[in-house]
Structure 1
Amino acid sequence: MEYEEAGLPAEPSTPFNSGDSEEHVMSEVHLGCPPRSSGPHISCFTFPIPPGTKRHSGADVEFEGASTCPEISLDGDGDLVLPRRSKPSNSSSGVTIQHNILSSIPNVGLQVWKAELALADFVLHRMFTSSDFDRIISLELGAGTGLVGILIARVAKTVFLTDHGVEILDNCTTNVHLNSMTFSNNQTSVYVRELDWKKSWPPIVGVDKFPSENRYAWSPSEIEVAQEASLLLAADVVYSEDLTDALFNTIEKLMSRGSEKVLYLALEKRYNFSLNDLDIVANGYSHFLSYLRRESVDDAECMELEDGLLPCFVGKRIDLAQIPQYVREYERGNDVEIWQIKYVSS
């Protein structure tokens, strides 16, 4: 197996004054946890495995090695202490995630956010009820802790976890290693790679043997594989208009190359008081919607030109009432949405 995050992480939902000059924030997922302005924390996110779950092969879905999250701790030097594997159970599973409870705004990708867990529910439901994700190539944009991609790795062929910033990428790599036993039998290749949406795709490649300061650079062969990804994933990446513009610029380049792709994007609508509107509005969400044409009976509402259709993104909101909440450690609420997005080029 190969262990090696695109985009920037999500907007914080809870400001926190840590006493220093830099504002720190806390995800609602961690409210009630002891505040910690620095240092990692280990959490186990658990979910039941529906009895009699089958895939197209007729075999039970296997989540060996993740039936219960092991009690992982840090030694005096801050290194992970890993216990022996426990005997798997057939009724429940989980994913072990190292994360921060507090972070500065540029490093909110070190935390776990609500839409990330909602997307995990969606992914688990598809894995439990279909073979759609079996042996696929998947790329996650703004992967943060890597939780969703690590779940996909249990059935996928290749997974790219992409984000921006060495600290976030290092933490994501740690989580891949923490959960490697859950996809080792599937022989999944998992890569953690740097992807800055404000730069062009494909990214600049590294040399054959990456120097330590460039360990998250891409190789030419990895870019070729990533462009054949059929599944793109993103969670908690919609909040800033500039970054949303950069996100869709990157998505357009990805979706117009290689194999046909579909993006599943989870977001949480975040509201602020606007002086222009004199009302509480979700401007980030509205800007996101401005990129989408709603899916219709005719498949797309893109503008027709003389020689075809104007390229556009076609979006359909997933009915979350039809997606069970498998992950136990959060409250989904009413402001979380998941969108299926396709790119129509002609």
Structure 2
Amino acid sequence: MSGFELEDQVMSEVHLGCPPGVSGLHVSHFTFLIPHDVDSKESRCMDLVGDEASSPWKIVDQDEDGDLLVVRRSKRSGHFGSVTIQHNIMSSIPSVGLQVWKAELVLADFVLHQMFSSSEFNDIISAELGAGTGLVGIILAHMAKTVFITDHGDEILSNCAKNVLLNSGLFGSQTSVHVRELDWKNSWPPSDFNSASHKRYSWTSSEVEDANRANLLVAADVIYSDDLTDAFFSVLEKLMSQGSEKVLYLALEKRYNFTLHDLNVVANAYSHFRSYLRDEEFEGDEDGYLPRFVGKRIDLSAIPQYVKEYERGADVELWQIRYDKRKPEIIGPPHNDIAVR
């Protein structure tokens, strides 16, 4: 990956509270509040409910002087659910998918909010791209009909499969969850599912058909390398131009670095990402270039924080992205010469 040394070790902010010196895989329980107005008789979201008494999260408030007010919680104050995730606390750059990242939890908040407030995700076909630990896809599996949790590399895929197994008792009874390899640098649809060298995470022809019929795509924290961003949008175009109309919800964290080229602190990876998107009203630049991907930034202040084990901060964004199949004659390569400061 350009711009990174493969041996560099990185650590997600989400893991800062983990025991120091822990190496290898670690198991965490990500806890979230299920609102009290989610009716257990009408919603499969209640399959997520854990033991409220055992939750570490307590309801507290403060008076004007900053003193704690003890609130006696009623039975209707809400229920706690949790997702169990096996992950690394630190990893090399190529293995960052073994960690849980902040944008992944922001996307989880969005998915939970949609599940608690609407029926939009009920019985849909969905796919998580660059799933890492598979946390978001696992949450989707409580409501969706079919979920494809996709990433690249046996180590990351095996960990995804383990996390699916750890949480399988909470899935909908009719839900199908598939952990599948999707290398963004290869073609879509894959052409080797009839090969004699069939692997555990290979696609079947019927699964490819299902994926093409997917309504929902999700991805989190996949924007940090220009080469990877190019590959991501390449496979995204293939996915979104085939089958049913799709929408992608993508969460990312803007990462700033000082560069000698810019002599400033910039977020060049974010700039490169934005070069692929246009607003709905954008009619093209002076060269007639019109990006095929239409992006809309979602106001995170309207999305409650259900997952408690992280701090959102100001540099996390959530985007809704659609694909415009019209006017192919004026589609060209993206411009990426604007530095975001």
Query: Quick check: TM above 0.5?
Result: yes
Could you say which residue in structure 1 is the equivalent of 2:179? Answer: 192
Instruction: Write out per-residue CA displacement over residues 98-135 of structure 1, whole angstroms, 9 at most, x where no aligned residue.
Output: 00101111101000000000000000000000000000
- The structure showing larger relative contact order (alpha-carbon pairs under 8 Å, at least 6 residues apart) is 1
Instruction: Return the match for 1:342 from 310, 319, 322.
Output: 322
Q: For 2:317, give the aligned amino acid.
A: E
Q: Residue 67 of structure 1: CA displacement?
A: 1.2
Could you say which residue in structure 1 is the equivalent of 2:73? Answer: none
Instruction: Write out per-residue CA displacement over residues 248-275 of structure 1, whole angstroms, 9 at most, x where no aligned residue.
Output: 0111110000000000000000011011
After the TM superposition, which residues 294-333 of structure 1 pair with which residues of structure 2 at under 5 Å, given as runs? 294-296=279-281, 301-303=282-284, 312-333=292-313
Could you say which residue in structure 1 is the equivalent of 2:46? Answer: 63
Q: For 1:266, give the aligned amino acid.
A: A
Consecutive unaligned residues of structure 1, counting only runs of 5 or more, are: 1-7, 16-20, 72-88
Instruction: Write out per-residue CA displacement over residues 289-320 of structure 1, whole angstroms, 9 at most, x where no aligned residue.
Output: 00000133xxxx2449xxxx956110000000
- Using a 3 Å threshold, how does the CA distance of structure 1 residues 144 and 314 change in structure 2: closer, same or farther? same
Q: For 2:133, give the aligned amino acid.
A: T
Instruction: Return the match for 1:204 from 169, 172, 191.
Output: 191
d(CA) in 2 for partners of 1:302 and 1:343?
15
Q: Residue 22 of structure 1: CA displacement?
A: 3.0
- Kept in 2, the 8 Å contact 1:36–1:101? The answer is no
The DSSP-based 3-state class of the residue aligned with 2:50 is coil
Q: Would you say 1:151 and 2:139 are equivalent positions?
A: yes
- Using a 3 Å threshold, how does the CA distance of structure 1 residues 68 and 284 change in structure 2: closer, same or farther? farther
Q: Would you say 1:114 and 2:102 are equivalent positions?
A: yes
- Using a 3 Å threshold, how does the CA distance of structure 1 residues 23 and 311 change in structure 2: closer, same or farther? closer
Could you say which residue in structure 1 is the equivalent of 2:163? Answer: 175
Instruction: Write out per-residue CA displacement over residues 9-39 of structure 1, whole angstroms, 9 at most, x where no aligned residue.
Output: xx99xx9xxxxx9321110000132244642
The DSSP-based 3-state class of the residue aligned with 1:315 is strand
Of structures 1 and 2, the larger Rg is shown by 2
d(CA) in 1 for partners of 2:180 and 2:21?
28
Instruction: Write out per-residue CA displacement over residues 206-263 of structure 1, whole angstroms, 9 at most, x where no aligned residue.
Output: 238865xx21111111101100000000000001111101100111110000000000
- Kept in 2, the 8 Å contact 1:35–1:102? The answer is no
Instruction: Return the match for 2:238 from 248, 253, 257.
Output: 253
Consecutive unaligned residues of structure 2, counting only runs of 5 or more, are: 55-76, 327-341
d(CA) in 2 for partners of 1:24 and 1:31?
14
Could you say which residue in structure 1 is the equivalent of 2:264? Answer: 279
Q: Residue 60 of structure 1: CA displacement?
A: 3.5
| TM-score (normalised: structure 1) | 0.81
Instruction: Return the match for 1:101 from 89, 92, 99.
Output: 89
Q: Residue 200 of structure 1: CA displacement?
A: 1.0
- Using a 3 Å threshold, how does the CA distance of structure 1 residues 60 and 202 change in structure 2: closer, same or farther? closer
- Kept in 1, the 8 Å contact 2:49–2:79? The answer is no
Q: Residue 157 of structure 1: CA displacement?
A: 0.2
**Number of equivalences:** 300
The DSSP-based 3-state class of the residue aligned with 2:235 is helix
d(CA) in 2 for partners of 1:121 and 1:135?
19
Q: Aligned-pair RMSD on alpha carbons?
A: 2.7
- Kept in 2, the 8 Å contact 1:205–1:220? The answer is no
d(CA) in 1 for partners of 2:39 and 2:320?
24
d(CA) in 2 for partners of 1:60 and 1:226?
25
Q: Residue 59 of structure 1: CA displacement?
A: 1.1
Instruction: Return the match for 1:141 from 125, 129, 132.
Output: 129
- Kept in 2, the 8 Å contact 1:63–1:154? The answer is no
d(CA) in 2 for partners of 1:208 and 1:154?
32
Q: Residue 65 of structure 1: CA displacement?
A: 5.8
d(CA) in 2 for partners of 1:31 and 1:141?
25
The DSSP-based 3-state class of the residue aligned with 1:62 is helix
- Using a 3 Å threshold, how does the CA distance of structure 1 residues 182 and 194 change in structure 2: closer, same or farther? same
- Kept in 1, the 8 Å contact 2:277–2:295? The answer is yes
Q: Residue 66 of structure 1: CA displacement?
A: 4.5
d(CA) in 2 for partners of 1:67 and 1:197?
37
Q: Residue 63 of structure 1: CA displacement?
A: 3.0
- Kept in 2, the 8 Å contact 1:193–1:217? The answer is yes
d(CA) in 2 for partners of 1:221 and 1:280?
48
Instruction: Return the match for 1:166 from 154, 157, 161.
Output: 154
